[in-house]
């Protein structure tokens, strides 16, 4: 009978230590969850501060003041425009009418010795 009592007491001690370990694990996990919640809250507050700062920096009135201070921009005046008759003459056309490849014709007229990379030259030994 004493052996049974001893085994029951040992089982109770083991069960109590097991329950205590479970309780400590749950307490540690609860503390970890609370720390994570605090970190999330801090990050959200940091994001809110950054958004507020961005809104302040991106305010149209502030940008206008900075542009006036640092850029030498002035409003356009009517005297800055010129009439169409004062425009220079249109340059002569480099492409003869009816050419199927206008870009190739312009290259041939401007510099006949230039060989582009897309077309192999007639002298290329390959």
Residue 89: Cβ within 10 Å count: 5
Whether 110 is covered by a domain: the verdict is: no
| Residue 9 within any structural domain of the chain | yes
Q: How many structural domains does the chain have?
A: 1
Q: What local confidence, expressed as pLDDT, does residue 51 receive?
A: 97
Look over the chain and give the mean of its residue pLDDT values, rounded to a whole number. 87
Whether residue 29 lies inside any domain: the answer is yes
Say what the pLDDT of residue 111 is. Answer: 76
d(CA 20, CA 15): 8
Residue 105 has, within 13 A of its CA and on its CB side, a CA count of: 10
**Tokens coding 114:** 């230039």
Across the range 22-28, mean pLDDT stands at: 98
Decide if 107 contacts 114 (C-beta within 8 A): yes
Q: Kindly tell me if the per-residue pLDDT of 79 is higher than 90.
A: no
Domain-embedded: residue 37: yes
Residues of the domain holding 2:
1-64
The pLDDT confidence band at residue 96, using thresholds 50, 70 and 90, is: confident
Phi/psi at 71 (nearest 5 deg)?
A: -105, 145
Confidence band, pLDDT 50/70/90 cuts, at residue 61: very high
Q: Is residue 82 part of a domain?
A: no
């Amino acid at each position: 009978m004493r052996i049974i009592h001893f085994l029951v007491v040992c089982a109770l001690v083991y069960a109590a230590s097991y329950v205590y370990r479970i309780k400590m694990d749950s307490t540690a996990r609860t503390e970890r969850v609370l720390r994570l919640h605090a970190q999330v809250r801090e990050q959200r507050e940091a994001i809110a501060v950054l958004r507020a700062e961005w809104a302040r920096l991106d305010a149209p009135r502030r940008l206008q003041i900075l542009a006036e201070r640092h850029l030498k921009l002035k409003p356009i005046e009517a005297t800055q425009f010129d009439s169409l008759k004062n425009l220079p003459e249109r340059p002569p056309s480099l492409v003869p009418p009816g050419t199927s490849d206008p870009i190739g014709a312009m290259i041939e007229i401007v510099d006949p010795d230039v060989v582009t990379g897309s077309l192999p030259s007639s002298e290329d030994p390959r």
